[in-house]
Structure 1
Amino acid sequence: MEIVRKIDRAQAQKLLDGSLSLKASKDNPIFFSSRNTFAMENRDQIQSMDKHKQETNDENDSVLLVIDDLNPNLDLFWQSQECKWIHGKLSVPVLQSELTAKDILRIEEINAKHRMNILMNTSMYDEKWCYPALKKVYRPTDRVCILAFSFYDDTKNAQDWDRQFGAGRGIWYRANTDPFLKFGLKKDQIVWVNFFEDSPEVMKNKILNSSILVLPGGAPDLMMKRIKEKKLTAILKNYQQTIVGFSAGAMIQLKRYHITPDEDYPDYGWYSGLGYLDDFDIEVHYQGSSHQKRHIEKAMDDSGLEVIAIYEKGGMICEPKGKRSYFGQIDFFSLPEQK
């Protein structure tokens, strides 16, 4: 039996889609790793495992399934399954059923091992109030994918989309592209996902090949609806790199978020997001108005969560293991402690 079995990116994507499953048995459990985050750093352990097999002729060793992708977005499945090395031999739990997309989603249980989430109101992150904080995150070698799905219902076709986001003439194109140039990136390192013209496969490849995923502002509920329509939910939930969202794009990074009534949304309500963050709520475009404060209090009563109010020039970075940092202007609201 192979000690290391490789699959290519297309097969890895099929695992996420649920169109490919892998059989596991008592004698042949399967677990996941990625070439750059496990195999390349653990060659000695792999060799030790191989040596053990040769010396003992043990055919019950586990299969190490290596995602053959330089920049994988599947986290280390073996960690979520409590696998560990014992004297050079791998000990893994038994998987006796097919490993499907639902199993892959268990990766979320060890979520945020590598992921970093940035929540803001504006894409002008090259300005003085936020540049020092973001300079520590963005790198000249990054590859950016902008998921432009947050447009309102008056954008009905590719021509409408192009007028908003198209290269060279879209009203939101430069606002989302140019600020990255100050961090040393080139325009050819930035791609846009076109809702109307890109195939689902092209969309997924753009996302998988990025190290920064941008979620623009606009309509958060419509953005989530379109993500589901294009069957991108699983791949986005498992994205393990840097995610930056503006306004609506910040909101959908939460498991649940509230909307304070405004000119676009006349009614207060709660909506479901991608679930990267679940221990707080946010108020975007905060101005300190009594209207906003009243709905922040309502949101806290409904959810029991603290609310982080982000001013126009404010933002926060959520790092692995729950670490948070803030820049610009932020206010914090929490329910009084129960006596």
Structure 2
Amino acid sequence: MVHILLDILDFSSDFLSAELRRYIRPKNKVVILAFSYRDSAVHCLKDWNTLYGKDGGMYYDAMVTPFLHYGIPESNIRIINYYTDTPSQVAELLRQADIVYFPGGLPDRMLERIDAFDLRNTLLSFQGIMMGYSAGAVLQLQEYHLSPDSDYPEFSYYSGLPILKDFYLEVHYEGTDVQNQAIQRVLNERRKIVYATVTDRSAILIDGSETKLLGDVRVFTPLSQ
């Protein structure tokens, strides 16, 4: 499996496209699992469409347009609707997909909705390309941390999909004291590398045993390493 962990919405940007063209192909089928929304923002189908709907959804173009840059037709891109798609339909779409994309938002709520649709095993058996932006990046880690922000006021560890196990990820890194304190805590408590992806300028590509840092990714290691 290939993992693309993004800290930029437009992954067709110049510093990524040459590398990602080796993986993202015009014939690919893409499934976007739009399950990461805030409960305060979405209460019904109408709210969901306001964020993700094809006709003017706030995030639709940002999620879909970069795939078009790689030659994938819009007809090959399917955004999963939590309100209208059934778990069995979604599981079948995932089995047919070449790329699964996890949007940004709330990673813990995204995983809860994945489990509500009983999709965990389907995702764990997926052998294509897993892409994710922000929350959709950390979700791919067996365990991730979140430094305090407006959505998560306290530092905490969370369980993600048990796939990537060798590092932690600090997304939207701006070098703030809060972020640096969180990184140091992870280094002390978990004794693993922390990759800090700088906002809008970075991505991590993992292809089997090979990890490539693309753009501006800072690397923090425990003192023992």
TM-score band, normalised by shorter chain: over 0.9
| Percent sequence identity over aligned pairs | 32
User: Contact (CA 8 Å) 2:8, 2:203: kept in 1 or not?
Assistant: no
Larger Rg: 1
User: In the TM superposition, what is the alpha-carbon distance from 1:126 to its structure 2 partner?
Assistant: 1.1
2:130 is the counterpart of 1:207: no
> Structure 2 regions of 5+ residues with no counterpart?
none
Is the CA contact (8 Å cut-off) linking 1:119 and 1:244 kept in structure 2? Answer: yes
Query: In structure 2, the residue corresponding to 1:130 is in which secondary structure?
Result: helix
In the TM superposition, residue 318 of structure 1 has moved relative to its aligned partner by 0.7
Equivalent residue for 1:270, pick from 154, 157, 164: 157
TM-score, normalising length: structure 1: 0.65
- The runs of 5 or more residues in structure 1 that have no matched partner are 1-114
Partner of 2:136: 249
Correspondence 1:103-118 to 2 at 5 A: 115-118=1-4
* Structure 1 residue ranges, 4+ long, deviating more than 3 angstroms after superposition: none
Q: Which residue of the other structure, out of 168, 174, 191, is the alignment partner of 1:304?
A: 191
Please tell me the residue identity of whatever aligns with 1:149: F
Q: Report the secondary structure of 2:15's partner residue.
A: coil
Residues 112-158 of structure 1: CA deviation (Å, up to 9, x unaligned): xxx00010122201111221221121101100000000000121111
1:334 and 1:169 mapped to 2: Cα distance? 43
Answering whether residue 114 of structure 2 is matched by residue 233 of structure 1, we say no
Q: Does 1:130 align with 2:16?
A: yes
Contact 1:216–1:247 at 8 Å: present in 2 too? yes
With the length of structure 2 as denominator, give the TM-score of the two structures.
Answer: 0.97
Contact 1:165/1:173 (CA < 8 Å) preserved in 2?
Answer: yes
- Tell me how far apart the structure 1 counterparts of residues 189 and 123 of structure 2 sit (CA, whole Å): 27
Q: Is the 8 A contact 1:257 1:272 kept in 2?
A: yes
Does residue 168 (structure 1) correspond to residue 18 (structure 2)? The answer is: no
> Quick check: 1:145 aligned with 2:31?
yes
Of 190, 206, 217 in structure 2, the residue corresponding to residue 318 of structure 1 is 206
Query: In the alignment, does 2:145 pair up with 1:258?
Result: yes
Aligned residues: 223
AA aligned opposite 2:5: L
The alignment's C-alpha RMSD in Å is 1.0
CA distance, structure 2, for counterparts of residue 160 and residue 280 of structure 1 = 35
Structure-2 separation of matches of 1:317 and 1:327? 7
Query: What are the Cα deviations for residues 262-307 of structure 1, in whole angstroms up to 9, with x where unaligned?
Result: 1111010000011110000000000112221111000121211110
CA distance in 2, matches of 1:147, 1:336: 38
Counterpart of 2:172? 285
Distance 1:235 1:229 in 2: 13
* Counterpart residue identity of residue 157, structure 1: C
